[in-house]
A = this chain, B = another copy of it.
Amino acid sequence: MKKILVIGAGRSSSSLIKYLLENSEKENWKIKVGDMDKQIALEKVDGHPRGEAFEFNALEPNQREKEVKECDFVVSMLPARFHIEVVKDCIRFQKNVITPSYVSNEMKELNDQAVEAGIIVMNEIGVDPGIDHLSAKKILDDIEEMGGEMTCFESFTGGLVAPESDDNPWNYKFTWNPRNVVLAGQGGAAKFIQEGQYKYIPYTKLFRRTEIIDVEGRGKFEGYANRDSLKYRNIYSLETIPTIFRGTLRKVGFSRAWNVFVQLGATDDSYILEGSKDMTNRDFINSFLAYNQHDSVELKLRYYLQIEQDDVIWDKLVWLGIFENTPLNLKEDATPAQILQQILEAKWSLAKSDKDMIVMWHKFGFRINGENREIHSSMSYIGTDQTYTAMSDTVGLPVGICTKMILNGTIQSKGVQLPIHKEIYEPVLKELEKFGVIFRETEVEPVLY
């Protein structure tokens, strides 16, 4: 019997733990689920005979060492910055390990040690990063095999509310960490390359430079640029591709309205808003507007950001309650981003019956035999409920499937890996299809400038 250690039983681990437990009998696994909060681990294991929940502080070296030593395989679902110590222990005790998070430079540097220890350290195998790699690399490899030369790669992913639960003017609800949504795009310009020309979009323009994407069966979305598309040239071996762009999807109209908060400075997390403890929603918005004894907050905002009286974004703003005299009731002064998050959480939180949705869309432009061709590939996936969300499924299932493939020897690679090789993406994508994570590929007539 193989012992699998799952570290972290939070929201993102639900589907993973379910998958592992459901496969545990057939594969002869024991699943040990450790979390700082034992109660959460207990709920996820739910009395399964092959599961065991325990209190686990992965930051405590002695306990971590003991648990890693005793198991056969480690799945680290910790916040990204905590993986490194776990992986170092895995190298020491020669245990394969998997994380859904972005591989850090520090992690990459462990490659030689991991190879030497004869283990695989698999990273970036959630949804984004993860399923995006699997699905994109599959087509990229196909095109290469056909002898095609890539001219353009675009890729967009969005965590959104499912159509059946989409009942507010923003067509958006928080389906994941709200803080990350409020801070999205901050910390440097978005970088990409188009027709061989480097392009840079500063945060202040990010939500005004969107691209409209039509996803088969799901309608129109808009995509804003992710921070760094350039690094994917290297990851996907597309060093000389003239156009590469990655972005985040929202329903059409979101970004232009969100830009109001960006322009006001309401998404800033870098300073404490003095006096905010005693503010109302309205005071908060007013703190970003010029003083005037007579003018209303509404008119000052319209004038400042040149929002015409019949602009559709106005309904979105009003609906959020930002002009209401609702006290913020903060315990202490907070940053603008923290305050905005609180205001949004009152409106954008999922109701109990709400479902979420993951949408992914890739575009592949290539030349073959002197001909320009274009393939689109898209996937959308709707969650089951508030525990087995689309986000939890699309993060957890690839992690779980890959765990199985490593344990049963389907995946043989060693070292610090990403799921960009056929040995990995092919079996994982195949099993994902059984769960409804299905990519539709269509070839379209390329539109050239």
Q: Tell me if A197 and B291 are in contact (CB < 8 A).
A: yes
Q: Which one of B197, B205, B291, B336 contacts A287 once the chains associate, using CB atoms below 8 Å?
A: B197
Given contacts A198-B275, A200-B288, contact A263 B205 (CB under 8 A): yes
B198 touches A273 (CB 8 A): yes
User: Does A281 reach chain B (CB closer than 8 Å)?
Assistant: no
Q: Is A354 an interface residue (CB 8 A)?
A: no
* CB within 8 Å of B: which A406-449 residues: 449
CB within 8 Å of B: which A333-356 residues: 336
User: Residues of B contacting A205 with CB < 8 Å?
Assistant: 263-265, 304
Near B by CB (< 8 A), chain A positions 180-205 give 187-189, 191, 194-195, 197-202, 204-205
Check if B265 sits within 8 Å of A449, measured CB to CB: no
Chain A positions 261-298 with a Cβ under 8 Å from a chain B Cβ: 262-265, 268, 270-271, 273-276, 283, 286-294
Do B199 and A291 have beta carbons less than 8 Å apart? yes
7 closest A-B pairs by CB: A202-B265, A194-B291, A204-B204, A198-B275, A293-B449, A188-B271, A188-B270
A144 CB to closest chain B CB, in angstroms?
A: 25
Contacts A265-B205, A274-B191; A198 near B287 (Cβ below 8 A): yes
B263 touches A204 (CB 8 A): yes
Q: List 6 A-B contacts (CB under 8 A).
A: A195-B293, A197-B283, A199-B291, A201-B265, A204-B262, A292-B449
A230 at the interface (CB under 8 A from B): yes
In the complex, whether A108 has a CB less than 8 A from a CB of chain B is: no
Q: Are B191 and A288 in contact (CB under 8 A)?
A: no
Q: Which chain B residues lie closer than 8 Å to A268 at the CB level? A: 188-189, 202
The answer to whether B197 touches A265 (Cβ under 8 A) is: no
Q: Does A2 contact B (CB under 8 A)?
A: no
A189/B271 in contact, CB under 8 A = yes
Q: Are A264 and B202 in contact (CB under 8 A)?
A: yes
Q: How many copies does the complex hold?
A: 2
Q: Does A218 contact B (CB under 8 A)?
A: no
Interface residues of A in 53-82 (CB under 8 A from B): none
The residue in chain B whose Cβ has the minimal distance to the Cβ of A276 is B198
Q: Majority SS of interface residues in chain A? A: loop
User: How far is the CB of A378 from the nearest CB of chain B, in Å?
Assistant: 23
Query: What residues of chain B lie closer than 8 Å to A187, measured between beta carbons?
Result: 270
A92 at the interface (CB under 8 A from B): no
Report which of B201, B286, B290 forms a contact with A288, defined as CB distance below 8 A.
B201
Chain B residues with Cβ under 8 A from A199's Cβ?
287-291
- The interface bits of chain A over 294-333 (1 if a CB of B lies within 8 angstroms of the residue's CB, else 0) are 1000000000100000000000000000000000000000
How many whole Å from A389's CB to the nearest CB in chain B?
Answer: 34
Q: Does A209 contact B (CB under 8 A)?
A: yes
Q: Which of the residues B198, B286, B294 comes within 8 Å of A274, measured between beta carbons? A: B198
The answer to whether B293 touches A200, judged by C-beta atoms less than 8 angstroms apart, is: no
B449 A273 Cβ-Cβ under 8 A: no
Give the residues in chain B near A283, CB-CB below 8 Å: 197
A195-B293, A198-B276, A204-B204 given; 16 more Cβ-contact pairs under 8 Å: A191-B271, A195-B291, A197-B283, A197-B287, A198-B274, A199-B287, A200-B265, A200-B336, A201-B288, A202-B263, A202-B264, A202-B268, A204-B265, A205-B264, A205-B265, A293-B449
Nearest-neighbor residue (CB-CB) of A306 within chain B: B306
> Which B residue's beta carbon lies closest to that of A291?
B194
